């Protein structure tokens, strides 16, 4: 599909490009990592006492397709992390099930998590996409090469601020809890001109997809939290 056709589809959905799509397209082949915020991104931010906030299967599947697409584009398995200020069992469960590289949780100052990942996991902001929704995420957004903001109709002033200060490249048409993660994944794959390739390999369970899946399943997630003024690796329970 041509770039112009992809852009029209996402604009029709309500998405808005803050950066020229051609520029975004040029950055996608540089991506080696994707970082997701949790609350307001994988969900609406509504919580329950037992599990915190949830995720949806179409979004989880989207992360798999995104990783496959970037793997096909670059030949390298992209690293995937969640950075959240809270303790969310569903985030841990998704990371374990989908073999993300890890979760950084209870980081009220999220830049500390990114600095830790840069130091210990070789996560370089200039090769990292960041998917976010709120004020606490803006410090990370200011550093990453590709920034996708999840729309929230209740925050028009925040969206205007982000646009004016060039802190995002695209704002989703869908909100958190409406499959904004799936929109983000398909956007990157569409602009990267590899969506059809991803569908082909996944539908046919091709040898390349099996190689990708094996590599993904070998990843053991790690969990980091901020305690006593330092980062500690823990296994959440």
| pLDDT grade for 157, boundaries at 50, 70 and 90 | very high
What is the arithmetic mean of pLDDT over 220-234? 85
What pLDDT is recorded for position 48? 73
What is the third-level CATH fold of 3-219? Rossmann fold (3.40.50)
* Tens-place pLDDT, residues 102-128: 999 999 899 999 999 998 899 999 999
Whether the predicted pLDDT of 170 surpasses 70: yes
* Tens-place pLDDT, residues 31-79: 999 999 999 999 988 877 666 688 999 999 999 999 999 999 999 999 9
| pLDDT grade for 237, boundaries at 50, 70 and 90 | low
What is the arithmetic mean of pLDDT over 197-208? 97
What pLDDT is recorded for position 233? 83
User: How many CB atoms lie under 10 A from the CB of residue 157?
Assistant: 8
What pLDDT is recorded for position 72? 96
| pLDDT grade for 227, boundaries at 50, 70 and 90 | confident
């Amino acid at each position: 599909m041509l770039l112009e056709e992809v852009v029209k589809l996402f604009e029709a959905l309500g998405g808005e490009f803050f950066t020229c799509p051609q520029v975004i397209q040029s950055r996608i082949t540089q991506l080696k990592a994707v970082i997701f915020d949790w609350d307001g991104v994988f969900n609406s931010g509504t919580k329950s006492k037992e599990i915190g906030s949830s995720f949806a299967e179409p979004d989880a599947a989207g992360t798999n397709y995104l990783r496959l697409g970037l793997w096909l584009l670059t030949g390298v398995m992209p690293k995937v992390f969640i950075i959240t200020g809270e303790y969310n069992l569903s985030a841990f469960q998704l990371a374990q099930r989908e073999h993300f590289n890890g979760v950084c949780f209870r980081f009220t100052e999220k830049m500390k998590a990114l600095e830790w990942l840069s130091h210990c996991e070789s996560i370089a902001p200039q090769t990292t996409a960041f998917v976010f929704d709120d004020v606490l995420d803006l410090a990370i957004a200011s550093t990453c090469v590709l920034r996708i903001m999840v729309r929230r109709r209740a925050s028009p002033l925040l969206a205007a601020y982000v646009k004016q200060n060039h802190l995002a490249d695209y704002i989703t048409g869908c909100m958190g809890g409406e499959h904004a993660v799936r929109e983000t994944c398909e956007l990157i794959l569409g602009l990267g001109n590899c969506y059809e390739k991803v569908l082909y390999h996944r539908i046919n369970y091709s040898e390349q997809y099996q190689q990708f899946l094996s590599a993904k399943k070998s990843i053991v997630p790690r969990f980091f939290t901020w305690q006593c003024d330092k980062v500690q690796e823990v296994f959440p329970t």
